[in-house]
Amino acid sequence: MNPEFLDRLVQVLGKESVITDAAEIEPWLTDWRGVYKGGAQAVVRPSNTQQVADCLRLCNEFRIPVVPRGGNTGLCGGATPDASPGNVVISLDRMNRIRSIDTIANTLVADAGCILGNLRRAAEAEGRLLPLSLAAEDSSQIGGNVATNAGGVNVVRYGMTRELVLGVEAVLPNGEVFNGLQTLRKDNTGYDLKQLFIGSEGTLGVITGVALKLLPLTRVRSVVLAAVNTPQQALELLRSLYGRCGARLQAYEYFTDECLDLVLAQVEGMHQPFEGRYGGYVLVELADTADEGALQDLLEEVIGEALESGLCEDAVVSASLSQLQALWRLREEISEAQRADGPHLKHDISLPIERIPQFIETAEATVREVAPDCRLFIFGHFGDGNLHYNVSRPEGADRGWAKEWEGRIAAAVFGEVAAYGGSISAEHGIGQLKRHEFHHHKDPMHLRLMLQIKQIFDPNSIMNPGKLL
């Protein structure tokens, strides 16, 4: 606690933007999963870019560590301060204005604190699609999505957040505003500096505004849940569907029977989709701008062929919007079901797609050598080569199991990932959760360059200490 700093902060930003009362600060000190807990002397809630700049300038002068916070749905503890009581959490929640929507250039410009779901709905009202979509979209903020380079369920068609960003406005730790909020599709004038903020996890500055690409609204959707017995079938089904449906393939998600069991047990109102049970399930969504009948026919035709040729064992095709939503819930409720079940060791990994089946087989053997009775929950964005490879305590073990086994299991999983040429973080980032593994697995030259970039942007190391680097 630094009384002189706090006085100046309140003087510059006004009382309504600064919280210093310990009880009021408390809710800002934990992460979504309740795994991390930190300390802070103040929470700042600026209402515009100038206030962010004033706040950072002051923090830099006093060498106060700053933790940017979006919707706090991050899964790596990136928005949770460390234990030091001197931190300042800077929340963008009051910066939630849509600055413009352009349906000729097909762009949307918004404050970084806008909730992703609100931006999607605003684009839809104008007949356009903002394709970034994830289960946490009604809590996460676009600034947080950009800071983590979020993925989600439509990456197979539209790419990660990075591919949707045209411009970024950000405040550097010294209070300077980086004005890169342009909407140009083409600009080949040297290094593309805005890219550095995408995926920077709050370590280079605070993102205050974002310019995004919009796409044609896919008004018609069709979903099938296909049952498979092996991941190899899921892989072959993907090959076949992509060939037949091309760009209409909007999502290709996978989850094992253990995940389905967990959702049925932990989430109210969920129903078993098939009479029998299978090794795993693939949720496929096709979407198009028009012609619902043609889309449905295409899906039924390709799934019929897949059933005939043994690429899947059974299938339910959605016949109505409510059925479509019910099928999606089986996949989207997995994170909530895990939260209800207790602490899970999460490994958000990326692999060369064609090696996923083999990885699943050998990784299980490796993990079971370490912890024979653990429970495995494997699901994720199969179409992008992204698995959430989650490990939980054996039946009957107490909830402290995860903490005790974390290091050994992470070493086993990430060792396998490295052997397959994969990445230890596909879409959730590094935060504080994977910092150790990141330093262990990242190419030393890449790490050195990242540290040099950090030094240029943040020479006093005030931005989000203990995260990423």
Residues lying near ligand FAD in the complex (CB under 6 A): 32, 67-75, 78-79, 92, 112, 134-136, 140-141, 143-145, 147-148, 150-152, 201-202, 206-207, 335, 427-428, 431, 464, 467
Q: Which is nearer to ligand FAD, 236 or 458 (CB)?
A: 458
Burial of 212: CB neighbours in 10 Å, binned 0-12, 13-18, 19+ = buried
CA angle (397, 399, 401) in 5-degree steps: 65
- Closest CB 410 distance from ligand FAD, rounded Å: 18
Residue ranges of E strands in 35-142? 42-44, 66-69, 88-91, 98-102, 107-111, 128-129
C-alpha distances in Å from residue 233, one per residue of 228, 310, 386: 6, 8, 17
Minimal distance, residue 435 CB to ligand FAD, in Å: 12
DSSP character string of 32-90: TTS--B---SEEE--SSHHHHHHHHHHHHHHT--EEEESSS--SSSTTS--S-TT-EEE
Minimum CB distance to ligand FAD smaller for 241 or for 469: 469
Number of H helices, E strands in the chain: 16, 19
Of 80 and 233, nearer to ligand FAD (C-beta) is 80
* In the complex, residue closest to ligand FAD by CB: 144
Q: How far is the CB of 261 from ligand FAD (least distance, A)?
A: 19
State in angstroms the smallest separation of the CB of 250 from ligand FAD: 14
Q: How far apart are CA 66 and CA 100, in angstroms?
A: 29
Output the smallest distance, CB 317 to ligand FAD, in A: 24
User: From the CB of 424, what's the least distance to ligand FAD, in Å?
Assistant: 15
Q: Which is nearer to ligand FAD, 9 or 155 (CB)?
A: 155
The least distance separating ligand FAD from the CB of residue 429, rounded to whole angstroms, comes to 6
Rounded CA gap, 158 and 243, in Å?
17
Distance CA 13, CA 464 (A): 21
Q: Decide: 383 and 268 in contact? Cβ < 8 Å.
A: no
What are 54's two structure tokens? 């004033």
Report in angstroms how near the CB of residue 239 gets to ligand FAD at its nearest: 23
In single-letter form, the type of residue at position 141 comes to Q
Residue 368 CA from chain centroid, whole number: 28
Please say which residue, 201 or 458, places its beta carbon nearer to ligand FAD.
Answer: 201
Looking at beta carbons only, is 315 or 430 nearer to ligand FAD? 430
**What whole-number distance in Å separates Cα of residue 146 and Cα of residue 161?**
6
**Which two three-digit tokens encode residue 420?**
């397959």
Closest by CA to 174, choosing from 345, 58, 20, is 58
> With respect to ligand FAD, which residue has the nearer C-beta, 371 or 417?
417
CB of 218 or CB of 386, closer to ligand FAD: 386
